[in-house]
Structure 1
Amino acid sequence: MNIINDLKLQYRIGGMTTKLIFWNIILFVIPALVFGMLKLFKIDIDYHNYIALSNNYATLLVKPWTLISYSFFHIGFFHLLFNVLVLNFVGKLFTTFFTQKQLLSLYLLGGILGGILYIISYTFLPLLANENALLIGASGSIMAILVATATYQPEMEVRLLFLGSIKLVYLAIGLFLLDLINLSIENTGGHLAHIGGALFGFVYIKSIQNGTDLGSGLTSFLDWCVTLFSPRKAKPFKKVHRNPKTSISSKPQSKIVVKDKAQQQIDEILDKISKSGYDSLTTAEKEFLFQAGK
């Protein structure tokens, strides 16, 4: 139970990079366990057909969610491990300069644009036209984040194992060229998604530098969704019933002044309750109101 509580705490206090890593791991582990157990009962369900992106645009019309879901699932442990390690690296670099919400919108839009390029390429390129393939993995989204960060801070140096210090822009260009070189050799769909994500990451930063955030609409939509499904907080009562003020009687002036001050303090406390609720009162104010009520 301590491990579960620690993981919950890490998720709660972690940034968007941590949350994305959690989502990717959870969406790999749970289906693997569930459908792996079903195989023991000779129930073999290939859930990848429901979450992976097909190269056939007609399938996308039937399963539109796959344009997003494919970038949160992985086909094997090492596929997942490599992607979350790179995501942890580039996500923290990106949020050094941009917000957590911008990271999420870039992750989603990078995956979407990578998926669109993948479908278009399989539809119109003669080499790929007759193939049936499925795309799965977060690589396109991660490539978008890497290229976006490199576009914004090209001179930043990062230290890599076996390579030492290298400028971020050279790392991004090197990976982009590797995708182009391997495009017709192996994992064509994956490389197409990388290229689409990289191109969007570049355009995303250039648009921000020109004063336009391409992810602002998606961010607003996600905020609306969160507000729609989150429980509404109880609002403090606003209508306050006050006793009508009594007319000033012919009593000594000193008593009238004392009464006016007391009434004024009561009015101020009631106004505070109407704006912020009873719990906003101090102990002294609550005691005064109690005595005045008596």
Structure 2
Amino acid sequence: MGRITETVKVLLIINVIFFVGSQFLGDYAYQLFALWFFENDNFMAWQFVSHMFMHGGLMHIVFNMYALWAFGGPIEQMLGQKKFIFFYFSAGLGAAFLHTLVNYIEFKTGYNALLDAGMSMGSIEQLLKTGEYSTAILDSVPRETLQGLYQSVNTPAVGASGAIYGILVAFGMMFPNVELFLLFVPVPIKAKFFIPALILLDLFSGLTGYSLFGGGIAHFAHIGGALFGFIMMWYWKKNQFNQNRWD
């Protein structure tokens, strides 16, 4: 957590450029670069990468870029530049994959529930497009199911958080006893305790829908980034990655 390494600096600059650009382009930027569910007309394949550089607001990008600076530099120094780039984008793609998979499961569950309740495919398509539905269906299907189905298709994912969770896991594995000083915790906490606790909190929030940090958080994207980050670091540590840097 010292000087800014070269790749981290470039990533910071790209994220800031995307954020500033999105302030000028508004919704159009999010239509193009946020990660939409593949049933949405806005979905494009490049969004699996571009969404990593989009953010939902000032505090969102500030926290993510602070974490990238604080934890990314030491990991880049350990892995080497090329391996760090591979690691960063792989964790981000892993996050997008798990987020999309969970979204798909929720979508299919809700879609099938509506079909079983007697809702026509045309009415379901109208719901997915506009969010509108006949109140008569509420006798058979909870309102939450209808809202959840609509949101699964029409709520895009943005942010570097998935890739950063991969970096956090790598940091915890490489520097487990480093004490982290956090704004919202008055005492230092070792990385090997704080980072697993953060991931477990995301898992709890993803499974229950209850979040200490409010709504609109892609918890399973965080978990996906952490999982893919762990797999890569476990493999590289097992194969003595420090002797095979990709400089």
> After TM superposition, is the score higher than 0.5?
yes
Point out the more displaced range, 154-163 or 176-185: 154-163
Task: Give the TM-score normalised by structure 1.
Answer: 0.59
Give the match for residue 24 of structure 1.
Answer: 15
- 1:203 is aligned, of 221, 225, 231, to 231
Q: Aligned in 2, Cα 1:96/1:212: closer, same or farther, shift over 3 Å?
A: closer
Aligned counterparts of 2:102 and 2:41: Cα–Cα separation in 1: 15
- Count of aligned residue pairs for this structure pair: 194
Q: Aligned in 2, Cα 1:154/1:144: closer, same or farther, shift over 3 Å?
A: same
Aligned counterparts of 1:99 and 1:86: Cα–Cα separation in 2: 19
Q: Which runs of 5+ in 2 are unaligned?
A: 111-147
Q: Is the 8 A contact 1:57 1:119 kept in 2?
A: no
2:176 paired with 1:185: no
Deviations 1:268-291 (A, max 9, x none): xxxxxxxxxxxxxxxxxxxxxxxx
Deviations 1:153-181 (A, max 9, x none): 32233333343322111111121012112
Deviations 1:74-119 (A, max 9, x none): 1211111111111111112313422122222121111101101111
* Bigger Rg, which one: 1
Q: Is the 8 A contact 2:180 2:190 kept in 1?
A: yes
Alignment of 1:1-294 (within 5 A): 14-33=5-24, 35=25, 46-56=28-38, 63-125=44-106, 126=109, 131-132=152-153, 133-161=155-183, 162-183=185-206, 184-185=209-210, 187=215, 190-211=218-239
Deviations 1:163-210 (A, max 9, x none): 332211111112101211221236466111100000011101111022
Q: Which runs of 5+ in 1 are unaligned?
A: 1-12, 37-44, 224-294
Give the match for residue 278 of structure 1.
Answer: none
Aligned counterparts of 1:164 and 1:95: Cα–Cα separation in 2: 27
> How much is the aligned-residue C-alpha RMSD, in angstroms?
2.7
Q: Secondary structure at the match of 1:46?
A: helix
Q: Is the 8 A contact 2:5 2:76 kept in 1?
A: no
Identity %: 29
Q: Secondary structure at the match of 2:218?
A: helix
